[in-house]
Amino acid sequence: MHDERTRIEERVQRAHEQRIKPAIYAATVPFEVEAWQAPGEPVSFEEAAAARYEPFAMHTPWGPPWGTTWFRMRGQVPAEWAGKRVEAVIDLGFVGDWPGNQAEALVHLVDGRPLKAVNPLNQYVPVANPATGGEQIDYLVEAASNPDILKDNFSRITPMGDKLTAGSAPLYTFQRADLAVLDEEVFHLDLDLQVLRELMVHLPDHEPRRHEILHALDRAMDALDLDDVAGSAAAVREVLAPVLAKPAHASAHTISGVGHAHIDSAWLWPIRETKRKTSRTFSNVTALADEYEDFIFACSQAQQYEWVRDNYPHVWARIQDSVKKGQWAPVGGMWVEADGNLPGGEAMARQLIHGKRFFIEHFGIETKGVWLPDSFGYTAAYPQLAKLAGNDWFLTQKISWNQTNKFPHHTFWWEGIDGTRIFTHFPPVDTYNARFSGEEMDRAVRNYSEKGGGTRSLAPFGWGDGGGGPTREIMERARRLADLEGSPKVVVEHPDDFFAQARAEYPDAPVWVGELYLELHRATYTSQARTKQGNRRSEHKLREAELWATTAALHAPGYAYPYEKLDRLWKTVLLHQFHDILPGSSIAWVHREAEAEYARVAEELEALTAEAVAALGAGSTRAFNTSPYDRSEVVRTADQALAYVEVPANGSAPLAGAGPAQPVRVTGRVLDNGLVRVSVAEDGTLESVLDLRAGREVLASAGNLLRLHTDLPNYWDAWDIDSHYRNRYTDLLEASAIEVVSEDPLEGAIRVTRSFGKGSTITQTISVRADSPRIDFATEIDWHEAEKILKAAFPVDVRAAHSSAEIQFGHVQRPTHTNTTWESARFEVSGHRWVHIAEPGYGVAVLNDSTYGHDVSRTVREDGGTTTTVRLSLVRAPRIPDPEADQGKHRFTYSLLPGASIEDTVAEGYSLNLPLRVADAAGAPEPVVSVDGEHVTVEAVKLADDESGDVVVRLYESGGGRATGVLRTGFPLAGAQVTDLLERPLEDAGVEDGGVPVSLRPFQVLTLRLRRA
């Protein structure tokens, strides 16, 4: 047989694209269209319905950036269309084929009920099937003219990311608004051809099946009447039916298709637009569920459900109906799909708590898995927290984006820092926006790492990132691929069903221990520093408000615990931990609003805490310690005077008391408090840090060396920092001023000021306080650089085999060498409040109050000694998608802690992030809780969410070893229970001698519910 593949493939392609697709709609009549441009921000349907509309012609430009135009569309179904399937077809002037980042619209009936959305890949709205003829159609269409920020694939700087800079010129040209007859035979022929052509081209040349399909397609084209596609479509389908009917091989891979619509809660659009995106996508999904009984849609992010509930009650009712029918599957059990590294431990717990509670309350469903496809790496704390929240499985996709190393598993057990394991899956289709294309099906099978152990994988299908969701075309593909020779078998099912079957067939799946580090997007630990600082401050202020509100509720008659306010504030903070807000990868509008939200949160939490403290009564000036560790330190009072105070963990003490053991002495550029002696060099770096207790020099060379690197990644400016950034830099060694600013016996301080770059300045106050080895660097930066990153380096004379960085409820160890590509790829890593390095017998920590990114490396000196260098990433200057990212003023503090054990480091990390509060109060009561026992660390103290008055305490083992202790209360205790994260009882905790004995494995998290007598 002659090889005619090229001729046949080209023949089929042309006939398909130029004849068959245009024939899908057999007849059309245009709508009569009028328009009204809403002023400013979006308006309600009621306001839009009452507006005055003007005639609007097709092919007319419309839509300023971030604007909303309402279109009124009126039409009548022709009488001759009776018995046919009629749809409205609307093309707003869509650009490209991505639904999420351009024009979108929600179509309403005139009574306000949303029908369905339209976007580039879903342009139809059902009208009648079958039509009777003569139906009057009257729609109000809310069209959003969102700019295409993704234009040019993020290669160009654009002002379109904020309505303040985007201008007002129209972005789109309206193309089409018609009533149309859908020719169902041609529609199905189009799908038959798509599936067969794509399957064919991805089969190997030597496969007989490829040639069988090829020649069937050739015969089908012979049956096609090019002058009467509709009339011949059935005959063409009849030719193709035998090749579509051949069943899959018995050993064919099975793909569990799960409908999905990844909607970033903010990214290249503001939060207000996401609220509308949810209504559009969820309208489409519920409409599709009405059409396809076998359709199942998995949807996470309780916050998005709440937006729909509050703003689109008709859509909310349709969702509830779909859930009852089993077609809509709430998943994920988190408030939002949060960043996987940066939220604090308690915040990550609250993500799971608030998310799961929402689904239980509103649907009676307890989600069983963590659905987090698109975050930039995943903390090793996740397995334990997920299990403590009642989850059985974990799903993600993003690790497939690794730059250097291919992750070795798709189905595996993931083991966290405490030893907890959770069954985990990475879809080998390598996308969470699948459409069941031939290329995707081929990739899923080729890519699947578990061949011989497992036989199935999961594919989330539907258009996403900016929403859109599954379409009828994707569902039709799934039906054709359910049992088709040459293809994996596709079954649309609930993700819980997939995980149950995958676990049953592969119970001895391999184990991955530790963090799931993404070898990409490492700059998300640093970009948009003010957003990250707002998150860190909010997390700690929430802890503070809950502790003192609990104290007041227990001891202040008449005080009412602010359940509703704390719940609302937590949800605001959780929202902003979304994986494109907290990482700093959103447009300017998003981060401008985030900073304002954090300021409002801080103001409200400050008021709540002050109210709780005031409820304890007036009396003397006291210091309040929110930290879980006793503190003896210097504090600044309201009149800026310094005082020394000793305060118990979670308690308070009067300022009057014993003084420090030794005063601070300032001599020239030397600060000495008897514990450390810090010498500042003429260039403003640290030339020496002597640990007087250990009798050793801490630094191997200049400390607090500020280095400005060129930072232009190959792609994705806000997301990425590539290893070549290290090759070009400038050390900031010129100080414009060095001056002593405090010689107080309680605090010595030297201020260093530098100017550099394009008009940037950095002022650092280096301070040492009495009775503390900690050296603080209070930093103010006025930042005007572009495509740069600023790092602060501490080269320490310690031979550390690994660094330890705090994560949620513990810490992870990372090698300081680069023996393998896995280690080399971790040239930038994340941590929370501290990084610790040590050799046997001596350790040093670097602490921070708002940064996350850092790197640790080591070199061997000529004298044979080893220098281990810790470098904090302070601030970046990416220009895409926010051209003004990080510009302006920043204030934060980081610290060097010589001679530090892990326990010292944990305590000082809390201390730096939870400053003592000074307030007028009466003799305060005993701390709500206190703990006897090393490394048993209290993370949260609050009243139970069910408003029973029980006290809930969350604690964990913080040292990485076993710990025992006794939890004691400052109130009469009647009983104690161990609970899950949702405060549901697991077992009796037991009370002995008025306290609760605790025994913890390494990094174990324990939640106790304490009943008051």
**680 SS3 class:** strand
Q: Which residues of 541-577 are buried (b: 16+ CB within 10 A; e: fewer)?
A: bbbbbbbbbbbbbbbbeebebbeeebeebbbbbbbbb
Cα–Cα distance measured from residue 66 to residue 681, given in angstroms and rounded to the nearest whole number: 52
Nearest one of 2, 476, 527 to 218, comparing CA atoms: 2
Where on the phi/psi map is residue 258: left (φ > 0), alpha (ψ -120 to 50), or beta?
beta
Burial class (CB in 10 A: 0-12, 13-18, 19+), 44: exposed
Tokens of 9: 């493939």
Please say whether the beta carbons of 454 and 503 come within 8 A: no
Q: Which backbone phi and psi does 588 adopt, to 5 degrees?
A: -60, -40
Diameter over CA atoms, the chain: 101
| Nearest by Cα to 195 from 428, 409, 484, 434 | 484
The answer to whether residues 596 and 277 touch, using CB atoms and an 8 Å cutoff, is: no
Of residues 724, 729, 723, 774, the one with CA closest to residue 748: 774
Q: What value does the CA radius of gyration of the chain take, rounded to a whole number of Å?
A: 31
How far is the C-alpha of 325 from the C-alpha of 314, rounded, in Å?
Answer: 17
Catalytic residue flag (residue 374): yes
Rounded to whole angstroms, how far apart are CA atoms 15 and 233? Answer: 12
User: Across 819-950, where does the E strand assignment appear?
Assistant: 829-830, 834-839, 842-848, 853-860, 866-876, 888-897, 917-921, 929-932, 936-943
Between CA 530 and CA 552 the distance in angstroms is 32
**C-alpha dihedral, 51 to 56 to 58 to 63, nearest 10°:** -50
CA 502 to chain centre: 26
Closest C-alpha among 408, 418, 422 to residue 822:
408
Pairing of the two strands 511-513 and 411-415? parallel
Say which residues have a Cβ less than 8 Å from residue 862's Cβ, sequence separation at least 6: none
The residues pairing with 25 across neighbouring beta strands, listed in sequence order, are: 182
Backbone angles phi, psi at 399, to 5 degrees: -65, -15
Q: What are residue 804's phi and psi, to 5 degrees?
A: -120, 125
Provide CB contacts within 8 A for 431, sequence distance 6+: 397, 440, 459, 460
38 φ/ψ angles, rounded to the nearest 5 degrees: -70, 135
State how far the Cα of 434 lies from the Cα of 300, in Å rounded to an integer: 17
Query: Which listed residue (190, 192, 374, 691) is catalytic?
Result: 374
> 153: which 2 tokens?
């694939």
Q: Is residue 616 within 8 Å of residue 921, measured between CB atoms?
A: yes
Two tokens, residue 263: 């909607």
Of the candidates 375, 471, 390, the one whose C-alpha atom is nearest the C-alpha of residue 426 is 375
Other beta carbons less than 10 A from residue 362's beta carbon: 17
Strands across the sheet containing 951-957? 936-943, 951-957, 1005-1012, 973-979, 985-988
CA distance linking residue 407 with residue 401, whole number of Å: 9
Catalytic residue ranges:
374
